[in-house]
Amino acid sequence: MKYGKKYAESVKSYDRAKQYDAQEAVKLAIENAKAKFDETIELHVRLGIDPRQADQQVRGVLVLPHGTGKTKKVLVIAKGERADQAQAAGADFVGAEEMVQKIQTENWFGFDVMITTPDMMGVVGRIGRLLGPKGLMPNPKSGTVTMDVAKAVSEVKAGKVEYRLDKTAIIHCPIGKKSFGVEKILENFNALMDAIVKAKPAAAKGQYVKSVSLASTMGPGVKVNYNKL
C-alpha cells in the first residue's frame, strides 16, 4: 500500500513499536493529524475474547464527557405525545409510517441515528433489511428503542457513542476531534476505556485487553500502554 507524504512523515516522528502512556499517545495522535480538516481521533481496542460466543459479547453505550465533535442527525419514529417530546428535545426528523415509507420508497437515509418507541418496532421492522446493513436498526441495548425518546435524543445530541465488538474481537470508536486538544480527548479516552473494562463478560478467560491504539482519520496508529490503564 502506498501512503501519502504527510503519513510517511508522521510515521518517522515516533516509534511505532513502542507503547506510550495514554497522555503521550493522545498527544502523538493529535500531532500526527496533519490533514486540512479537523480529523477524528479514534480508539481501537483488541480484546482477548471470542466474539462468536453469545456469552462473550461486549456492547454498550456511553455519553462521552466532551462528546464526539460531530452533531448527529436524529430520526424518531413515534406518535402522539412521544412524537411531540422528540420534537421538543431537538430531533431533526419525527414521524411514523410516512417516514418508514419514505425510506422504503425513496431510499432516503438523511439521518445518523434512528430512535423509536417499542410500539412502533413492528412498523420499523418492515425496513429492517434496509436499516441493518447500515447499522441504523434501533435496538434496546443501544438505548434507541425506548419510551423516553426525549432523553434518547438528548443523549445522542450530547455525544453518545455505542461501542461493540466486531467479528475480529476489536472495538473501534471515535473519541473526539483533533481540535479538542489533549485534555478533552484524554478524558473521553479514560471514560470509554473504563466502560469497556467494566463490560468484561463473566465468561472471559485470560488476558482481557490485548492491545490499545489511537489514530486520527488519516494518521498512523499509536500504541497505548494498556497495563497502566
- Quick one: pLDDT at residue 113? 96
Instruction: Give the pLDDT confidence score for residue 15 in this predicted structure.
Output: 77
pLDDT score, position 198:
94
C-alpha cell at 194: 473504563
Grouping H, G, I as helix, E, B as strand and the rest as coil, residue 111 is coil
**Where does residue 24 rank: exposed (0-12), middle (13-18), buried (19+ CB within 10 A)?**
middle
pLDDT at 13: 64
- Residue 5: the pLDDT is 66
pLDDT, residue 70, reads 87
Tell me which residues of the chain have a pLDDT lower than 50.
none
Who's near 214: CB < 8 A, 6+ residues apart?
Answer: 25, 26, 28, 29, 41, 42, 43, 44, 189, 221, 222, 224
Please report which helix (H) or strand (E) contains residue 97, including its range. helix 97-106
